[in-house]
């Protein structure tokens, strides 16, 4: 199981924020998917974040597709996360 120790969860229905920032995991994920920004490019764009923060945000979204479906700003984001989450599911023999 992946640890999301760099993400801050609260009681709201919002995507978790990256610790020490107001940037949500879904914001990072959508910039990665929709704009094609790499992890390194995102780290350069958001100087307060490091690569580990960004990787955790993306990993959280891929492993929590229901949260992404609820909060995504683009149907393309939902399509991508559903394909990614299906590819992570174990296959039965």
Q: Break the chain into its structural domains and give their ranges.
A: 7-75
Instruction: State how far the Cα of 43 lies from the Cα of 86, in Å rounded to an integer.
Output: 27
7-75: what fold?
Arc Repressor Mutant, subunit A (1.10.10)
Lowest mean pLDDT among 3-7, 13-17, 28-32, 84-88: 84-88
The per-residue pLDDT for 34 is 92
Condensed to tens digits (0 to 9), the pLDDT of residues 54-84 reads 999 999 998 998 888 888 888 888 888 888 8
Asked if the model's pLDDT at residue 91 lies above 60, the reply is no
The per-residue pLDDT for 15 is 86
Q: Is the pTM of this model over 0.85?
A: no
What length does the chain have? 93
């Amino acid at each position: 199981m992946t640890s999301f120790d760099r993400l801050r969860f609260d009681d709201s229905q919002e995507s978790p924020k990256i610790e020490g920032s107001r940037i949500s995991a879904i914001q990072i994920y959508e910039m990665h998917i929709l704009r094609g920004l790499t992890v390194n490019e995102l780290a350069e764009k958001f100087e307060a974040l490091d690569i580990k923060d960004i990787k955790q945000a993306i990993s959280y979204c891929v492993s929590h597709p229901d949260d992404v479906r609820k909060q995504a700003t683009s149907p393309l984001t939902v399509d991508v996360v559903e394909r990614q989450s299906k590819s992570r599911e174990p296959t039965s023999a």
